[in-house]
Structure 1
């Protein structure tokens, strides 16, 4: 830029001297003419270089954008050039990084959903074909697996719908004040048979007894059912699953605790992600992701503490009905 301005200044002086006749009559005029011509050429070259410095990054951005349009989300651009172009390049790379991550997650979810659907569909088809071909009688014993598989499909579809609504911010809540003890009791009733079969005690503690939360009762009952169901599946016979609730300033903390085998250390950081589950888990791996989305939709938080071989604690923090 300085070189360009110097050349322009020299050219201006040369024009003034030419207008006064000094260029043609004095040796200094010839020198100035030569210098002016040289600097003019240099200025044109410098301007071309500067223009190239500006257009090259733009061309790289256009090329990368075309690759993304074609489905190549690995496209990145070098962070070079003036500060404005460097900022643009960093923003572009951050955007493509998110697109690449989202695409990988989308493909993973599709593969996981297909895997989860395969088992119940196989059961339904196998039982139906066996009954139609006369291999199995169409009695209750052979229809029961069909109904169980159908229920599995219903739960999976409902879970996926809840996750989709939460992801788009469309998870509607019909909030009302409800006693925590009622939510816990209703959940325990639903799991009474499973607890009895597994010889597991269900224990609840609520302090103070009339503690209330401002929640969507149906969705919060679903979240508690996920947590209690998980705890029962991993609790040892003769053990107990505890649900404890206590008052916090402006909120209520609910803790679901078991004394089972705990969550493997390698899974713990991703336990609230979709389709993440241990090898021995019979579920779809969506339960804790749904719990997280429901709790966060209420303006609460959820966290987990687990020690392999010593049990797991899930902590929910929910808004209290009085806000105090």
Structure 2
């Protein structure tokens, strides 16, 4: 006896995380038992429908990939303004965001490179011009090549040498390629050495220079050569901006947390204008009347950061400036 029955198949097709289509297959059967002879034809029909539905899904994937390929080609040609639209499945949107973030960093690095090139060119121009002018004058017989005229030339070569050394240190520190030779260090002794190195300069300028770093501070795991450079840069900066009769002092104490030490260089100089204060750690940033290269504070910030510390400045015009930084007592304690 023949009886009628029915069969129902429901298929959904996805492109990435989105549903791009569905298929309902409904049919009458001559008897409730399945006819195995029909199965290959049903499978073939379902396969053809699946392939037809897959084409829009492939398009959903292909368009974001085409965007990425086009943007990569523009970057290869030197266009860092290229950006990839964030569309398509979630994974491709995340890839587009990462690609755009990479381009933002590349563009920022390129701006920094050009600014550095311009700054270095500006800083080199003055000493090179002085050396060239003096040597040409001596060769032309304008004045003799004696000690009085050769001394300024020698001093300008020292300026160039310091600038080159500073640029190298700063470049290594910013790139993370500067290796620290850490050892347990007595900060009171280190500060005393810096004071001794600048004592004659301070005396000649009529400025009092002394250390107030506590003798009972625990030893700190640092690179003493690099930290001496930090204190030397800060001390030189304080002496440079402090008039006769003023003072510069180095202080040090244990942070209230007990995990860090706090070092400060305090001067009674003319202070820093509020509009300049946020920029004093920027490379080559200096006031119009400052004789320095504008690298000392930037080097200090990067060296402190390499030690896992932080640095900040407080200043009041006409009162003085305090530059304070913290260092962890040991590696990994920050």
Normalised TM-score (structure 1): 0.82
1:127 is displaced (CA, Å) by: 1.1
Q: 1:145 aligns with which of 138, 152, 164?
A: 152
SS of residue in 1 equivalent to 2:210 = strand
Please say if 1:302 is aligned against 2:319. no
In the other structure, the counterpart of 2:174 is 167
Unaligned stretches of 5+ residues in structure 2: 1-12, 14-18, 39-44
Moved more, 244-253 or 114-123: 244-253
Unaligned stretches of 5+ residues in structure 1: 21-35
Please say if 1:227 is aligned against 2:239. no
1:210 is displaced (CA, Å) by: 6.4
Q: Write out per-residue CA displacement over residues 53-105 of structure 1, whole angstroms, 9 at most, x where no aligned residue.
A: 32122111111111111111111122222212211111111111111101110
1:244 is displaced (CA, Å) by: 0.6
Aligned counterparts of 1:184 and 1:42: Cα–Cα separation in 2: 77
Total equivalences in the alignment: 299
Q: Write out per-residue CA displacement over residues 229-252 of structure 1, whole angstroms, 9 at most, x where no aligned residue.
A: 111111133111121111232432
In the other structure, the counterpart of 1:243 is 250
Q: 1:252 aligns with which of 244, 261, 271?
A: 261
SS of residue in 2 equivalent to 1:86 = helix
In the other structure, the counterpart of 1:118 is 125
**1:1-324 equivalences in 2 (<5 Å):** 1=13, 4-6=21-23, 9=25, 44=52, 47-208=54-215, 212-248=219-255, 249-320=258-329
Q: Write out per-residue CA displacement over residues 171-195 of structure 1, whole angstroms, 9 at most, x where no aligned residue.
A: 2333333432332232223322332
Moved more, 191-200 or 278-287: 191-200
1:208/1:246 contact within 8 Å kept: no
2:207/2:239 contact within 8 Å kept: yes
CA distance 1:10–1:87, shift in 2 (3 Å): farther
Aligned counterparts of 2:165 and 2:318: Cα–Cα separation in 1: 32
Q: Write out per-residue CA displacement over residues 211-260 of structure 1, whole angstroms, 9 at most, x where no aligned residue.
A: 64333332222211100111111113311112111123243211101122
SS of residue in 2 equivalent to 1:283 = coil
Aligned counterparts of 2:64 and 2:82: Cα–Cα separation in 1: 14
User: Considering only aligned residues, what root-mean-square deviation do their CA atoms show, in Å?
Assistant: 2.9
2:191/2:213 contact within 8 Å kept: no
CA distance 1:200–1:247, shift in 2 (3 Å): same
CA distance 1:213–1:56, shift in 2 (3 Å): same
SS of residue in 1 equivalent to 2:22 = helix
Aligned counterparts of 1:231 and 1:299: Cα–Cα separation in 2: 24
